[in-house]
Structure 1
């Protein structure tokens, strides 16, 4: 299929094993490890899974032949969804890692960009490695016990996760297109050279495969060794809750509202909502009680200036955020009630300390909110002391401190959260609203809302329209910075307009094409380009397959 996948699978087992288990290396030299050895037992297969867990956040040159060191997996891919869609807003020039190119709609619309190439190959790496486990573990040559079933279930879940990521980026949205005929992505089932794929399957065929994989995963998980608990590393492992959560996301994307609601309820079982102290603690550890799945980032992993918090948090000691503090859309902020504690982590009146701020209001004398220089300076110092940023960090009105490091002001990488309970309540609420189950949607919203807002009352949203408007608000605030806005806008068929309704706070000069984009149903620029290298290497793809 893919030149890089062919090369990758020669070494994927080596990479996975040497990354994760020294004991294996004691009995099998690194130059003697083969695919046969790696797939010989359930425990050896678990090492491949551990390689996938770590591969979610490693710098991609350690996973992909030719992979760039300027992408560290989901450190980049997760916040990308809010960066492209304009949910987390840049305030000044700072294009490290091409992060500002993403806001300007440059990278994902170019078939030779690092972003479209590495996201494609990273996800197919996951698929190919998952295939190797599934194909061997289900061929009848190994005794199926609880441990093997757990391995198989994780592999099916990983494959579904990767296909869902691919289809949501490289194809037209299910609800805004014609899924039975719209081109999707290639299906790959092989685990032996030459790893030949099918041509592009339809969007419907890919979603059908995702659903099959998740249902198979759930069946295996039900009779498998349970995921351990108590340590951060445990939440890197996939379990039945993760499979149900992905099923909920998939069903929401396809308008299968009943499945979305039911799966969301099952996904959150055993993961209670966070309290105020937890919500305000920085979203930097998978040990938070409502985190269902996330990467426990090993501190020795050299992500540092490639990390999630470098790109999107305002306390990381790197130039991307020191020079360019990230802010919330002020139209969204202005909807947050005074009684909602989440409002506290978005600082509407922070001084604009950057003389090069894109809005032209940086530095004392230009900031319209301050006429007293001592007050201006004192407020900056207060913010630094409260949140742990350094004297080199700029401040800006509407800057956020929702996402911040455990060791603020350092370059330490932190965990990446992929799935949590609040999202599942919001999926349930949206699905029930779309089914005209007003009371059901209100109940799901109440369960979440009363933990965030002391005056919350969902009963005032008593129609599908008002419920959906409120759900969009809740997703914007609750999931801010967690990467969901890109797929949300495609599902809702909403464009981007940073100038509308008083403006978001973004600069048209800075944002360029990303400042305004038509809705996805009439604008194919929402669809990522297929890497040109893939079209050149894959005999089943031609230039006519390009998005």
Structure 2
């Protein structure tokens, strides 16, 4: 029995705790529900789904026994993708939750690291829950109803989501390797203990299973109820659009360009692009029109100093941010046209107020910005930024800091929603997939629909070749999705390394970034592949030391 999956079955006995009631923290035996009871009705199955929903963003020990308080699951995993590749840049030396270790590649490259263990642990717990529902429904005598199909569709979608995450982190990139022979991750179909998994399946076998699950989800959703209710909470429920969106991501990762394009179009139906005001509002709520899927973080959830916004938002009142404002790559920011309103969330001219800044230029005494000729001007600019964005007195400012991610209540420690999928991403997937097929016109059309809505002067016809189009699509992805965690998988798909020194430099400190200052491309550097948790190798009879990445 594997170490990670050994503890998974315990969660079946606390599923009632995951309902959306304010008493969810009351952990008593009378709140328990057995695996059999969980399958007794569609309503109880929905409780299982509610457990997975909340498990996406809770501190990992809250829902899934055996976790750790230092990770609140997707609050960490989502921005991690941009933290690893130097899109979300640290301006000073702070290491709360190992966020600096992660940035320096001293985390996922170590088999005993908490990040490796908990990402694996979390995704397989999702799979174990999904298996409970999928297998239980298959073995039950329930009459097929739209409500039952909705549960089944979500279960299949969750299993596909978890396997896609696992294979993209613990397996070699599909397009840069040999998927038919490259080792992926173990497949698990068990419902009950013992959760003895198979040995590592190939990358291809994992992707085949993901596609089977998503096709099954799409079929089930087709006969389901659709999302019920409204508001931010309804978008925490997976639906047909989410299944199509995950299939678009999967197909993009494998180079199945035609499928990626068509699935992206299907995924975004009904989710109109945000206008300028909404785009600049902070990306803190599922209520934004183009949010297809996200976690609605309930007020009573105590993520606080474990949250996405604690790690990435410059308005959060926490030491990770106050002492270490997050900045964007100045090469990206400087390339944003003046006619593109997305540039307004970056402040390239902000004073460097942090005397502990990694570049050694913090404080008036070290000021190199010619815009500030007196200390009074320097201090006034700092005060103005703090007033506009709701920062507290302890917050530092720094050139190229961002305010894309802003809390609903800036300057607080309140958690906010975590967005996973937007229609903007689907336009970009369609554009890339069409461009990779050499379909210049359709790629331009998809790109114009998105970039033209952000930049009043944008003209996609200026990019008339596949190379020019792909360069622009990459730029648009980096800008539109900045801070939302897509950098890691994008660079693997594009086989791009990390180079903070090139083209005038990113603005990151070489002293702070150490070996992560320059990282060779994924096809030549196996450090892009996460290490399998050593505890899993030690305890799982289907794995050995030879299976370590």
Tell me if the contact between 1:4 and 1:64 (Cα under 8 Å) persists in the aligned partners: no
Tell me if the contact between 1:4 and 1:65 (Cα under 8 Å) persists in the aligned partners: no
Q: How does 1:43-442 map to 2 (within 5 A)?
A: 43-369=43-369, 370-442=372-444
Q: Secondary structure at the match of 2:364?
A: coil
* 2:475 is equivalent to residue 506 of structure 1: no
TM-superposed deviation, 1:23: 12
Tell me if the contact between 2:14 and 2:33 (Cα under 8 Å) persists in the aligned partners: no
Equivalent-residue separation in structure 2 for 1:122 and 1:85 (angstroms): 22
TM-superposed deviation, 1:269: 0.1
Decide which moves more: 462-471 or 59-68: 59-68
**What do the CA deviations read for 1:347-388 (whole angstroms, capped 9, x no partner)?**
000000001110111101312112211111111111011111
Residue in structure 2 matched with residue 473 of structure 1 by the alignment: 475
Tell me if the contact between 2:186 and 2:201 (Cα under 8 Å) persists in the aligned partners: yes
Cα 1:24–1:342 change in 2 (3 A) is closer
Equivalent-residue separation in structure 2 for 1:427 and 1:153 (angstroms): 23
Residue in structure 1 matched with residue 536 of structure 2 by the alignment: 534
Residue in structure 2 matched with residue 457 of structure 1 by the alignment: 459
Equivalent-residue separation in structure 1 for 2:103 and 2:20 (angstroms): 39
Q: Secondary structure at the match of 1:299?
A: coil
Q: Secondary structure at the match of 1:365?
A: helix
Where in structure 2 are there 5+ consecutive unaligned residues?
Answer: none
Residue in structure 2 matched with residue 14 of structure 1 by the alignment: 13
Tell me if the contact between 1:3 and 1:534 (Cα under 8 Å) persists in the aligned partners: yes
Q: Secondary structure at the match of 2:483?
A: coil
Cα 1:32–1:395 change in 2 (3 A) is closer
Equivalent-residue separation in structure 2 for 1:476 and 1:43 (angstroms): 41
Residue in structure 2 matched with residue 484 of structure 1 by the alignment: 486
Equivalent-residue separation in structure 2 for 1:151 and 1:363 (angstroms): 56
Q: Secondary structure at the match of 2:13?
A: helix
Tell me if the contact between 2:45 and 2:133 (Cα under 8 Å) persists in the aligned partners: yes
Tell me if the contact between 1:14 and 1:33 (Cα under 8 Å) persists in the aligned partners: yes
Where in structure 1 are there 5+ consecutive unaligned residues?
Answer: none
Tell me if the contact between 1:353 and 1:364 (Cα under 8 Å) persists in the aligned partners: yes
Decide which moves more: 384-393 or 416-425: 384-393
Residue in structure 1 matched with residue 496 of structure 2 by the alignment: 494
TM-superposed deviation, 1:22: 6.3
Please report the RMSD computed on the Cα atoms of aligned residues, expressed in angstroms.
1.5
**What do the CA deviations read for 1:496-536 (whole angstroms, capped 9, x no partner)?**
01001100001111011211100000100000000000001
Equivalent-residue separation in structure 2 for 1:363 and 1:22 (angstroms): 48
Decide which moves more: 134-143 or 399-408: 134-143
Equivalent-residue separation in structure 1 for 2:23 and 2:44 (angstroms): 8
Equivalent-residue separation in structure 1 for 2:418 and 2:360 (angstroms): 34
Residue in structure 2 matched with residue 546 of structure 1 by the alignment: 548
Cα 1:512–1:24 change in 2 (3 A) is closer
Tell me if the contact between 2:51 and 2:63 (Cα under 8 Å) persists in the aligned partners: no
Residue in structure 1 matched with residue 525 of structure 2 by the alignment: 523
Q: Secondary structure at the match of 1:450?
A: helix
Equivalent-residue separation in structure 1 for 2:43 and 2:539 (angstroms): 35
TM-score (norm 1): 0.98
TM-superposed deviation, 1:540: 0.3
TM-superposed deviation, 1:140: 4.3
TM-superposed deviation, 1:422: 0.4
TM-superposed deviation, 1:13: 2.4
Cα 1:354–1:23 change in 2 (3 A) is closer
Residue in structure 2 matched with residue 30 of structure 1 by the alignment: 30
**What do the CA deviations read for 1:449-482 (whole angstroms, capped 9, x no partner)?**
1110111110001111111110111011100100
Tell me if the contact between 1:307 and 1:413 (Cα under 8 Å) persists in the aligned partners: yes
TM-superposed deviation, 1:183: 0.2
Equivalent-residue separation in structure 2 for 1:216 and 1:75 (angstroms): 28
TM-superposed deviation, 1:8: 2.4
TM-superposed deviation, 1:67: 1.2
Q: Secondary structure at the match of 1:451?
A: helix
Cα 1:441–1:32 change in 2 (3 A) is closer
Equivalent-residue separation in structure 1 for 2:267 and 2:32 (angstroms): 41
Which of 421, 444, 447 lines up with 1:445 in the alignment? Answer: 447
TM-superposed deviation, 1:31: 6.2
Tell me if the contact between 1:79 and 1:308 (Cα under 8 Å) persists in the aligned partners: yes
Decide which moves more: 395-404 or 228-237: 228-237
How many residues in Structure 1 have an aligned counterpart in Structure 2? 545
Tell me if the contact between 2:15 and 2:32 (Cα under 8 Å) persists in the aligned partners: no
Equivalent-residue separation in structure 1 for 2:511 and 2:66 (angstroms): 34
